[in-house]
Structure 1
Amino acid sequence: MNFEYSDKSKELQAKLKAFMEEHILPVEQEVYEFNANPETYWKHWPGMDALKQKAKEAGLWNLFLPKSYGDLSPGLTNLEYASLAEIMGRVLWSSEVFNCSAPDTGNMEVLAKYGTKSQQKRWLEPLMNGDIRSAFLMTEPEVASSDATNIETSIKLDGDHYVINGRKWWSSGGMNPACEIAIVMGKTDFDASRHKQQSMILVPMDSPGVNIIRPLSVFGFYDSPEGHAEIVLDNVRVPKENLLLGEGRGFEIAQGRLGPGRIHHCMRLCGMAQRSLELMSKRAAERIAFGKTFMDFSSIRQEIAQSKCDVEQARLLTLSAADKMDKTGNKDAKDLIAMIKIVAPNMALKVIDRAIQIHGGKGVGPDTPLAHYFVAARMLRLADGPDEVHMYQLGKSVIKQYASPK
């Protein structure tokens, strides 16, 4: 197991760090304030397109797409991308600058892996170019969606079209004004076997019957301009050619999509936690209380030491999962992906919480990214499957490996 970064990865890390220092960090607070202002909700910060163009020119574009996707990919392995995603994770909105933000990354991987040539031409190419954005509609308010077999949205064939009816929420990317296409999961056959009922279909957001009911906030954060939406699909008709892969293949697609998506989140969480560690260390060296610098208190040193251990452990587990994905595929790496999906959000929450505590009042306010980090990390204990589901499946797998056959 060798996690030494390739020369290509090292070169891109250096370029990405320099880009972040020169172009992202100077406007970090300005963008956060723009996105948090109700008067500018669901609008793009005016300088975003210029930053994207600079990223393209710097060769820092679509870095997420694994090299197994051929000509569509910049040729990086998951292991090579991990360090880059961690760097982007230090600023929550920065992934968009490099066309590496969810849900587009997962949707692009789906189209690259499962889409037809015409679907790729119509939707993948503009997504890869950053001309449009996308949404992913899976979770529903009326059922426990952690068990995806509960999904009740119907996708019924009617002549040359499918008719879609259902209510979705936490539809990531649904509020984005540039969102033009959604991947929707629903059931094409309610009577088929449990994991063959579901299908995924491409639904243009301007289709009649696609009704955005409301944006959903996460602990008060709307995450504009992407956001999460509650959406009603009311007799939405799309051509049958919009179906992905075939009827009953929805679970197969979901597993192909969610594995990389989960580890991308964990990579970014390591970035949030690492920056939180750096911020609390600087704070500890600067602040004085009761006649002593914070860093001279044993309890503060212990908190920082433990945080360093926690970040490094999670980073190594993330790299291990990425390495396994590269060498033997996502399916064989599923246990490691489950492990890091359990570990990384909880690790980040602990580290961010310590950083908030050391910052005092400043830590819960708008002058550092810590409060928003905390919200993002807490949400990721639910997104792409809650901790309990991953632990249930991981426990089952471990028992199967070690239990004596009966």
Structure 2
Amino acid sequence: MTVVEPSVFEALESNVRGYCRSWPTVFDTATGSVLRDEHGREYLDFFAGAGSLNYGHNNPVLKRALLEYLAGDGITHGLDMSTVAKRRLLETLRDLVLLPRGLDYKVQFPGPTGANAVEAALKLARKVTGRQIVLNFTNAFHGMSLGALAVTGNAAKRAGAGVPLTHVAPMPYDGYLGDESELRWMRRALDDSSSGLDKPAAVIVETVQGEGGVNVARDRWLRELAEVCATRGILLIVDDVQMGCGRTGPFFSFETAGITPDIVTLSKSISGYGLPMALVLLRPDLDQWAPGEHNGTFRGNNAAFVTARVALEHYWSDGALQAATLAKGERVRAALADLASGHAGLSTRGRGLVRGLVFEDASRAAKVCRLAFENGLLVETSGSEDEVVKLLPPLTITDDELTRGLAVLNSAVAAICR
């Protein structure tokens, strides 16, 4: 009898590993929108590092700058010390992103992940207002640390905390009740002293809920939410960790709504290269931190500062990337709408280059993703019941790659829904 030894992943890596179970191969190299496993098989990537690789794998422009920086013995680990790399990033962020949009924000470097940025934003909001409650939304996802979990909606993820998740109050997201009454309840609860809802420090919201199932908030709803907050002295935090850096078209996902959040969290694709990095953007009057009051050993990833700067210079000095993203997003929208029209129990939603294919029979979404993988395409599920096939291709994907990936998806859906 032949005994098959477990791989080193099975033998040593924790059971918590997840994506490797959906995509059972060992990846080795990647360029642009393509990954290759150790046997040389290629996979089109409609996942993009969960939105961390908006400019593709090993983007040659960013790679060249990173290699030159490392070859010149540039600072890699810098805590919050002042470095040339940080200065150049701040100047570029100011000149290419903030000033052109009329945004007056201070920049905080928290720890290197989106959850770190969310934790910093929540902590600051409570410090500045002296209040504890934060309002979050149904189907929200903000991270896996305790504060971020508290404002996350998914019951399974929240259960992993192992302790009560307090000082939050959930509100219905746009469309959750199937009508336009969501913010009427928020207004009533906030203004009624007998509602049982204490005045909150902040509201935290995603303009598009990626992990929650590609739920898209209307611009009108976001404007009304901003007005609700502003007129009541409540801080508005927009979590742009996954939907920022051009994913929906504009650099910030809230731009089309014409709102100016009090605090914005960024991570994932802000480094441009998939290197760990996060930012918190905050109104100058909210910058009430004492020196060192919120810190982290790896908040000074200078290699990420280099690639972030070059990504801004290369892709955000004009409107070309935004226009291309919107055009590609329209292609995907049309293709998914056509696909959905041919199958019962199937619908689609999204913005820009984040799109979702929604299955009434939730079990079919995972089956489609599995079959797509077998045919060389990486897509993942999202939503409260994993009922959505979520598409997050790199913004730099070519038209040919987009066509081929959509064809694989189309075939997978046809096979599962026949």
TM-score (norm 2): 0.25
Higher helix share: 1
TM-score (norm 1): 0.26
